[in-house]
Structure formats: structure tokens, C-alpha cells
Amino acid sequence: MLKTALAGVGPMLVVCLDLEGVLMPEVWINVAERTGIPELRITTREEPDYDKLMRYRLDILDANGLTIDDITDVIEGMEPLDGAVEFLDWLRSNWQVIILSDTFSQFAGPMMDKLGRPTLFCHTLEIDEDSRRITDWTIRLEDQKCRTVEALRAMNFNIIASGDSYNDTTMLAAANAGILINPPQNVADEFPQHPVATNYTELRDAIQQAASAMGE
């Protein structure tokens, strides 16, 4: 009979990271630059209500006749942030890593290829196959980043989480240790309980310090 964690198996560390703004550039900012539609530059760094933000984006895409293929063309031309691949390789050589993102499976493929195919939990778009319009989106779970962290902790994992935006803050709060990476000033000011890293060296040091404090 297997013994439970409470019977003597100690915690194991999992590092949970946001994707866009942490490892990859922001998809919608790149779409805005490629299409010349500045309204698409708004992200969860400015608008914390994700449903409101996505409806706003889809309305703009429809008004400009843009399809899923236009978006994926932009994504295929994006590269990881400088140092992201090396940082992620270092993390994965030491601990388990899960990318928790509010991106969509239809966007994720090219980004995951360039990052070495890490584990990713994200959402799904609904596509009209005739027009190739993005008609809606399906959320895997409400506040899936936070709920994933809570589930992992319930399984006796220690969690270090890092992200850059409003939609990462509940994940950071649910983790054993939460670290902001290059957040906008308004997010840093609103959540001063989380240390701020401004580059991968600082983030690596903060993760190592938190892991050491957990005995990992």
C-alpha cells in the first residue's frame, strides 16, 4: 500500500511561470505593431478583467477582418525574450516547471517549440473553420493559474510562482513564494508583498533563495 505524503514523503518543488512577458514577448502587442492597430496593445498589465479584455480584442479583430491565421503568422515570427531559453533550461535542470498562461492552445505551438516544449496549461479558442474568425474562447478554469497552484499544494508540492501582470497575482499569493518579474509600476505598487526581479539573473537568485528557505 502506498504511503501518503503525510506518512513521510516530503514536499517537492514545482516552479510555475507565466508565459508572455516572462519568457516570450506579449502576443497582442506584437499583433498591434504588425497590424498598426494600437488598441490591441492593451494587456492584463493594464486591464485585469480578462473576459472584458478578450471581448474587446475579438471585437477589434472582427472590425478589421483579422483571422486566426493573421495572429499565428505574427506568433511564428516571435522569438523568446533574451536569456529566456537559458533561464528555462536552468530551471528545468533543477526542478519541475509548469507554464501557467492565459494564452490559447492555438497560439502556443510556435512559442513552445522555441522554448523546448515545457509543460503548458492554457485555454482554447473557438474558431469558425470556414471564415477562420475567432468567435469565442473557452477558459479551462476560472482563475486557472491560482487553482493549479492550490491543487499542487494540496498534493504536498512546494510552489514558487513568477509572473508580471495582474492576472498572475492570485497565483503568486497562492504559492509558497511569489516573485514579480518586470511588472508595470502599478502592479508592483499594489502588491508590495512580492519581491520584484528586473532580469533573469535576479529572478534566478530570488528562486534559489526561496527554494533554499524551503529546504529544496
Q: Annotated active-site positions, please?
A: 18, 20
* DSSP per-residue string spanning the chain: -PPPGGGTPPPEEEEEE-SBTTTB--HHHHHHHHHT-GGGG--TTT---HHHHHHHHHHHHHHTT--HHHHHHHHHT--PPTTHHHHHHHHHHHSEEEEEEEEEHHHHHHHHHHTT--EEEEEEEEE-TTT--EEEEE-SSTTHHHHHHHHHHHTTEEEEEEESSGGGHHHHHHSSEEEEES--HHHHHH-TTS-EESSHHHHHHHHHHHHHHTT-
